[in-house]
Structure formats: C-alpha cells, structure tokens
Amino acid sequence: MNAKKSSFDRRIFQLHAELCKTLSNPIRLEILSLLQDGEKSVGELADLTGVRQATISQHLAVLRQRAVVSTRKDGANIFYNVANPKMVKACDMIREVLFEQFAEMEKLAKKAEAR
C-alpha cells in the first residue's frame, strides 16, 4: 500500500511542478488575475495588459493546455475564464506572502538605515 501511495504522491508532485511551471510567467499570472473579475476576450486582455494579441494568445494556449483557463465561444469571439477559482485563491495567497515578505524587508532596511 505504501508503494502505491508513494507512486501516487510522486505523480501528484510531478503534476504540481508542471502546473507551477505553467504559472511561472508574469504575463500568465497577470492574465489569471484579470480573469478573476470575469471572462474576457484576447483583445480585452491585450488592451488591459498592453501586450500584443499574438503574445496573449500564446500564453492563453499554454494556460488552456494545463486546464487553468476554459473557453466559451460566442459567434466569432472566444472568451476565456478561470477554470477553477481555487487557482486564483492559491495565487492570491502567494501574492500575500510576497507582500508580507516585502514589508518585512523594508522594515529591516529602515532599521539598518537608522543605525
């Protein structure tokens, strides 16, 4: 039983690492953040990020491959949305940790300057 569990755990860790690789791009993280407010088209995402539509499309393809985003077609338009809201929550938690770490670093820097 332990060998099976260990094999399953390793597979989950592998999938976790692959998902983290998918999210290791700042543009993809920005796209995910923008989609938490609701579905958007490639054009809308390009306007909001200031990134070329072709580049946004490439990043959306990666996110779609990993099932991070899903799509809805309406005529000729394709709208993207977050496939699982827990993904946004996980990214938000990481951002909170980063903000806390940044605040702590600033606090330490100010203490060092005061000396």
SS (H, E, C) 6-47: HHHHHHHHHHHHHHHHHCCCHHHHHHHHHHCCCCEEHHHHHH
Distance CA 23, CA 36 (A): 15
Q: What average pLDDT does range 3-19 have in this prediction?
A: 87
Ramachandran bin of 67, using left for φ above 0, alpha for ψ from -120 to 50, beta for the remaining angles:
left
Residue 78 parent element (H or E): strand 77-82
* Predicted confidence (pLDDT) per residue in 80-114, tens digit: 999 999 999 999 999 999 999 999 999 888 888 88
Residue 78's pLDDT is 95
Per-position DSSP letters for 79-96, written without gaps between them: EEEES-HHHHHHHHHHHH
The pLDDT of residue 4 is above 80: no
Q: Which CATH number among 3.40.50.300, 3.40.630.30, 1.10.10.10, 1.10.10.350 corresponds to the domain 2-83?
A: 1.10.10.10
The pLDDT of residue 1 is above 60: no
Residue 103 carries which side chain, given as an amino acid letter?
Answer: A
* Predicted confidence (pLDDT) per residue in 35-78, tens digit: 999 999 999 999 999 999 999 999 999 999 999 999 999 999 99
